[in-house]
Amino acid sequence: MTVAAPSANGTSATRPAPPRASQRPPSALELLRSTDRAEALLPAAPESASAAVSVQPPGFSPEQLAALSAPLERANVRQREQGRGKVAYVEGWFAVAEANRIFGFDGWQRQTVAVRCVAQADRTIGRDQKPGWGVTYTARVRVTVTAGGLPPLIREGSGAGHGIDVDLGQAHESALKEAETDAMKRALMTFGNPFGLALYDKAQRQVSDATGQGEGAQRQGGQRPPVSRPAASAPAGPGTSPAQGRTQAAASTPQPSAPADPGQQSLDAETIRHLHNSLRALPRPQLESLTRAFRKRFQVPEEAVTIADRINQKCHHDWIEAFLVQLEQVAG
């Protein structure tokens, strides 16, 4: 670029303009500051999938472990006379409710693996001294619990039950139910205080006197809140190592379920026909007694005209055979 300048004689002359100063390169401090400003404007980097997903260790959840180790509320303890003293116990319905609450409705199951009538005799009942029956059963029950990806936990318990009634079938029914309930409670008891483990300590140091406070007591007319169960394992993310992926896959693999109840096996046609013939041969009073007991034992609806079409499983066969054996012993 040139600039015109007046000369001495009045004419303008051109001279070159002074050169423009070249742009100075940024200093190291300026570079650091500009980098800091750029990083501050960038959005925060998302957490990796492996860090965002927490892997739940196998087994019971912390809430389940806390519930199983918590003291038993004295408000849930009952007592009954036995001999010259009293026996403390938890009721059967309460044990089932606690199992549903802690393990989940689909987290446990029970099955009767053995039942036996060990005693039957005629006796008088009540102040009126009515003729009746006294029956005693023993039972063994298996309880299977699913605990967060571990193989099923299996516990067994044995119990006895007594039934007294003017009707022989009702006496058998009461004794059988009591034996099964007693055995179930003994199996569940091995899991902790909520099922009566604390009552086996004579000092009852794990029985709390607090009643109706917090989540401990079974409140009248209400249910205790369910316990959180282990969450299902999440799939391995892109940032998960192969070893972690294998661990998570193993935890999420469904475990084999407990064996099915043998009593639920279907009967073949020949066995059903044989049972029907045996029932038809019974005297009418014995047939009516068996029918009433069968309806109650297997919850046959009142509107069902006959029980013949309800006899289709192994548990029906075993129960009828036991009933017929007892009838033969009485007749003999």
| Residues 111, 118 contacting (CB under 8 angstroms) | no
Domain spans in the chain, listed from the N-terminal domain onward: 62-207, 263-331
As beta bridge partners, residue 141 has: 112, 157
Q: What is the pLDDT along the chain (332 residues), one digit of tens a residue?
A: 555 555 555 555 555 555 555 556 666 556 656 666 655 555 554 554 444 444 556 788 889 999 999 999 999 999 988 888 888 999 999 999 999 999 998 899 999 999 999 999 999 988 888 999 999 999 999 999 998 778 899 999 999 999 999 999 999 999 999 999 999 999 999 999 999 999 988 888 899 886 544 344 444 444 567 777 766 544 444 444 444 544 444 444 444 444 456 667 888 888 888 888 888 888 888 888 888 888 888 888 877 778 888 898 888 888 888 888 777 767 66
- The domain over range 62-207 is classified in CATH as 1.20.120.1200: no
Q: How far apart are the first and last CA of the chain?
A: 138
pTM of the model: 0.53
Q: Are strands 2-6 and 12-16 parallel, antiparallel or unpaired?
A: antiparallel
**Centroid of chain to Cα 142:** 14
